Amino acid sequence: MKGKITIDKELCKGCGYCITACPKGLIAFNEEFNSMGYHYAIPVNSDECNGCGLCAVVCPDIAVEVWKAED
Ligand code: SF4
Ligand code: SF4
pLDDT, tens digit, for every residue of 32-52? 999 999 999 999 999 999 999
Average pLDDT rounded to a whole number, residues 3-12: 97
Cα 57 to Cα 21, 31, 36, 37, 41, distances in angstroms: 9, 24, 23, 24, 15
The CA 5 to ligand 1 mean position distance, Å, reads 7
Q: Is 42 in the pocket of ligand 2 (CB under 6 A)?
A: no
Nearest CA to ligand 1 atom 8: 22
The CA 10 to ligand 2 mean position distance, Å, reads 10
Structure confidence at residue 69 (pLDDT): 82
Q: Is residue 59 predicted with pLDDT exceeding 80?
A: yes
Give me the phi and psi of 46, to 5 degrees please: -65, -15
Full domain range(s) for residue 26: 2-69
Average pLDDT rounded to a whole number, residues 65-69: 93
Q: Say which CATH number the domain at 55 has.
A: 3.30.70.20
Q: What is the reported pTM?
A: 0.95
Average predicted confidence (pLDDT) for the chain:
96
Q: Is residue 71 predicted with pLDDT exceeding 70?
A: no
Distance of alpha carbon 40 from alpha carbon 7, whole angstroms: 9
Provide the number of structural domains found in the chain. Answer: 1
Closest by Cα among 31, 61, 9, 46 to 22: 46
